Amino acid sequence: MCGIVGYFGKRPAKDFLIEGLKRLEYRGYDSAGVAFLEKGAQRGSKASKRWKIKAIKALGKVAALQMKMEGVFVSGIGIAHTRWATHGKPSERNAHPHIDCKGLVAVVHNGIIENHRELKEVLEKRGHKFRSETDTEVIAHLLEEEMSPSGEKRKVGFEEAFVKTLKQLRGAYGIVAIATEDPEIMLAARFSSPLVLGIGSGEMFIASDVSALVGDVKRVVYLDDDEIAVIRRDGYVVKTLSSRKREKEELTLEWDKTVAEHSGYAHFMLKEIFDQPKSFADALRGRLILEEGMAQLGGLSAVEKRLRSINRIVIVSCGTSYHSGLVGEYMFEEYAGIPTEVEMASEFRYRKPLLDRKTAVIAISQSGETADTLAAIREAKEKGALVLGIVNVVGSTIARETDAGVYCHAGPEISVASTKAFTSQLAILSLLTLYLGRQRGLSLVMGKRIAKELEQIPKYMERVLAQAKDIKKLAKKYAKQAHYLYLGRKYNFPNALEGALKIKEIAYAPAQGYPTGEMKHGPIALIDSSVVTVMIMPKDSVYEKNVSGMEEILARGGKILAIATEGDTALAKKATDVIFIPKTLEMLSPLLAVIPLQLFAYYVAVERGYDIDKPRNLAKSVTVE
Ligand code: F6R
């Protein structure tokens, strides 16, 4: 997905622009570019040096752009972009920034301008010449048209022209622009595509994703829809489209530079899998009250009274976050006694969901920017439901738009394939189960047992991670499988879906996840000696049922890679291969069982030689529909 960075300050903008783009590389892109203001050559003795725009673009990696910029002096004001082609193929011509006919403005844009064809037609009639096939280029020409109408004298200044331009756009946008006419400001605007300002000392930063700012700033401000930011070297003002000033909350960015580095691991995904004992402990930190079998969740204190009266929960989320929601459904129903449904946000938004004030809608999202999840919570708010968030990125749009919520504190998740966010979401869902359960009928004894066991999870996770070498060998053995089947039941059915999703995403392997009991209703037809079925079958309340499912597969010549509870020698004898996880409470077993699934997918992808941190066609945060 496209990425934006911008810098305005005392240093050459190049340093941050290239570094910022590199930090956004994980989002996926096909070309990159920068534009900056530079003082033009002196023409004639009296003529003052005029500002002009210089743009440099490259197809492929940011490193290629960096090479092209070697030796180029860049002023203290510049914008840059990584493009993920939507309108027009990947090429230098289509790469951002885009510039108008007269070279007055340079623009970078994330999102889609839906009415770009109509706008282009009108602009072409007025004599504008387009150089790219992108929707973005209309923004540059509209700005030119407002600032310097064809054949007429300059009408309005940069800021006014910017607002007039925005009012003509339909669709989604995060835009940053610079102009030769006004080198003292950089302008930015947001509608449905995130932008965050970074506040430095005597320098300002902007990015479409906060991870680009990690290490450079400690204070950030998120823009909301229909806001524009007027950025100067030493500060900023946020305004509405009707030019009213908006007071914005400045947030502290907790993440430091080291969390966004590989730290000796071959890939971010592997590092993040190994981060889990720590990220899980971070999610629990200061929130568990062991002696009361309870959780304290400061983010929910404002809605505590209302939460006591809810009689239904609807969880909305996508992908891996949807899978953690499915585990949450089992937890809430079993221990808090609250009827719960889980909906894919992309479907929820187009239904006519029946919600009322007694329903709590919980959005789960790592990025806090997923367009479908955002649309779902907006719908839920309109219908009067209490809207809560379980979000990782502090200050993200979903975090801001929910009534209350709990942060995951997993740190930045850079790998496109989500791993540590999943287990952190499960940590929060477990805490929420205690919180809601103890408000209702959950006994002190059971509450204490869950709380105590939650504390043990990081230690158990270490035991699973210690088997990485064995899992690598199994991945090698099964790396050439044409198709993978994942089965699990009850709390580990969502893990079957998650295991299949991981191997699809990074190893491009056809894979399906099913509840074990569903096998006989169709998928069993797939079984023969060429198929390995990964079965998640810890010693829990559905263990015997899983064993029956396994027998049916073995009887048809299928192979079984079992995830089993330590000490289950009987199962180890029957299964083709086995990976053990420590014994824990059934509701917490997905936290341990998911780790071998993540590692297995990772090592299969390594065997197949794929670019694990940047899987094809995928974006880290899906901010468009
Ligand atoms: C899977 C994955 C995606 C995300 C999904 C939701 O590895 O990363 O399926 O889980 O796009 O993203 P968030 O959690 O940011 O809303």
**Ligand 1 lined by 373 (C-beta under 6 Å):** yes
Residue 110 clears pLDDT 80, i.e. is over it = yes
Rounded to an integer, the average pLDDT of 113-118 is 94
Rounded to an integer, the average pLDDT of 93-98 is 94
Cα–Cα distance, 98 to 131 (Å, whole number): 9
Task: Determine whether 620 is an active site residue.
Answer: yes
Tell me which residue has its CA closest to atom 3 in ligand 1.
Answer: 319
452 and 559 share one domain: no
**Ligand 1 lined by 3 (C-beta under 6 Å):** no
Q: Rounded to the nearest whole angstrom, what is the distance from the C-alpha of residue 364 to the centroid of ligand 1?
A: 10
CATH number at residue 121: 3.60.20.10
> What is the C-alpha radius of gyration for the chain, rounded to an integer number of angstroms?
26
Last residue of a domain, one of 195, 226, 260: 260
**Ligand 1 lined by 367 (C-beta under 6 Å):** yes
Domain that holds residue 125: 3-260
42 and 187 share one domain: yes
Residue 404 clears pLDDT 90, i.e. is over it = yes
Last residue of a domain, one of 241, 260, 279: 260
CA distances from 501 to 10, 128, 216, 453 (A): 46, 47, 34, 28
**Ligand 1 lined by 613 (C-beta under 6 Å):** no
**Ligand 1 lined by 346 (C-beta under 6 Å):** no
Q: Rounded to the nearest whole angstrom, what is the distance from the C-alpha of residue 87 to the centroid of ligand 1?
A: 24
Selected residue with higher pLDDT from 374 and 87: 374
Q: Is the Cα torsion angle 438, 443, 445, 446 positive or negative in sign?
A: negative
430 and 499 share one domain: no
**Atom number in ligand 1 closest to CA 417:** 7
Kindly report whether the peptide bond that precedes residue 510 is cis, defined as omega within 30 degrees of 0. no
Tokens for 510, please give them: 């056809």
194 and 223 share one domain: yes
Q: Are 184 and 234 contacting, i.e. CB atoms less than 8 angstroms apart? A: no
**Ligand 1 lined by 110 (C-beta under 6 Å):** no
Q: Is the Cα torsion angle 281, 283, 289, 290 positive or negative in sign?
A: negative
Q: So what's the pLDDT on residue 85?
A: 77
CATH number at residue 506: 3.40.50.10490
| Inside any domain, residue 625 | no
Structural domains of the chain, count: 3
Query: What is the percent of the chain with per-residue pLDDT over 90, rounded to a whole number?
Result: 81
Query: What is the percent of the chain with per-residue pLDDT over 70, rounded to a whole number?
Result: 96
Q: Are 148 and 102 contacting, i.e. CB atoms less than 8 angstroms apart? A: yes
Rounded to an integer, the average pLDDT of 346-374 is 92
pLDDT digit string, tens, across residues 125-172: 999 999 999 999 999 999 999 998 766 665 789 999 999 999 999 999
Of 54, 271, 420, 620, the catalytic one is: 620
Q: Rounded to the nearest whole angstrom, what is the distance from the C-alpha of residue 562 to the centroid of ligand 1?
A: 26
The mean of the pLDDT values for the chain is 93
Q: So what's the pLDDT on residue 45?
A: 43
Residue 547 clears pLDDT 50, i.e. is over it = yes
State the pLDDT confidence band at 372, using cuts at 50, 70 and 90: very high
Cβ within 8 Å of residue 355, ≥6 positions away? 314, 361, 380, 383, 384, 385
Q: Are 210 and 393 contacting, i.e. CB atoms less than 8 angstroms apart? A: yes
State the pLDDT confidence band at 575, using cuts at 50, 70 and 90: very high
pLDDT digit string, tens, across residues 14-29: 999 999 999 888 777 8
Q: Rounded to the nearest whole angstrom, what is the distance from the C-alpha of residue 417 to the centroid of ligand 1?
A: 8
Last residue of a domain, one of 260, 287, 318: 260
If one residue of 408, 506, 622 were mutated to test the ligand 1 pocket, choosing by the most ligand atoms within 8 A of its CB, it would be 622
Q: So what's the pLDDT on residue 616?
A: 76
471 and 440 share one domain: no
If one residue of 321, 504, 613, 622 were mutated to test the ligand 1 pocket, choosing by the most ligand atoms within 8 A of its CB, it would be 321
| DSSP alpha helix (H) spans, 76-115 | none
112 and 126 share one domain: yes
Residue 213 clears pLDDT 50, i.e. is over it = yes
397 and 534 share one domain: no
Q: Rounded to the nearest whole angstrom, what is the distance from the C-alpha of residue 594 to the centroid of ligand 1?
A: 16
Q: In what order do the strands lie in the sheet with 312-317?
A: 340-344, 312-317, 359-365, 386-391, 404-407
Q: Are 412 and 259 contacting, i.e. CB atoms less than 8 angstroms apart? A: yes
Cα–Cα distance, 584 to 456 (Å, whole number): 9
pLDDT digit string, tens, across residues 592-610: 999 999 999 999 999 999 9
| Inside any domain, residue 376 | yes
Q: Rounded to the nearest whole angstrom, what is the distance from the C-alpha of residue 324 to the centroid of ligand 1?
A: 11
123 and 232 share one domain: yes
Q: Where are the beta strands (DSSP E) in 526-610?
A: 532-536, 559-565, 577-581
Q: So what's the pLDDT on residue 182?
A: 94
State which amino acid sits at residue 277. P
pLDDT digit string, tens, across residues 253-309: 877 766 666 778 999 999 999 999 999 999 999 999 999 999 999 999 999 999 999
**Ligand 1 lined by 397 (C-beta under 6 Å):** no
Cα–Cα distance, 403 to 300 (Å, whole number): 9
Q: What global pTM score does this model have?
A: 0.85
Say which DSSP state 617 is in.
T
Q: So what's the pLDDT on residue 84?
A: 83
Q: So what's the pLDDT on residue 615?
A: 81
Tokens for 361, please give them: 């809608």
Hey, which residues does 110 pair with through a beta bridge?
174
**Ligand 1 lined by 621 (C-beta under 6 Å):** yes
296 and 266 share one domain: yes
pLDDT digit string, tens, across residues 166-199: 999 999 999 999 999 999 999 999 998 899 999 9
Tell me which residue has its CA closest to atom 4 in ligand 1.
Answer: 319
Residue 625 clears pLDDT 90, i.e. is over it = no
Cβ within 8 Å of residue 200, ≥6 positions away? 9, 216, 217
Of 2, 271, 420, 504, the catalytic one is: 2
| Inside any domain, residue 622 | no
267 and 355 share one domain: yes
Tokens for 282, please give them: 């971070």
Q: Where are the beta strands (DSSP E) in 338-471?
A: 340-344, 359-365, 386-391, 404-407
Q: So what's the pLDDT on residue 431?
A: 98
425 and 307 share one domain: yes
| Inside any domain, residue 619 | no
pLDDT digit string, tens, across residues 442-455: 999 999 999 999 99
Q: Rounded to the nearest whole angstrom, what is the distance from the C-alpha of residue 315 to the centroid of ligand 1?
A: 15
224 and 116 share one domain: yes
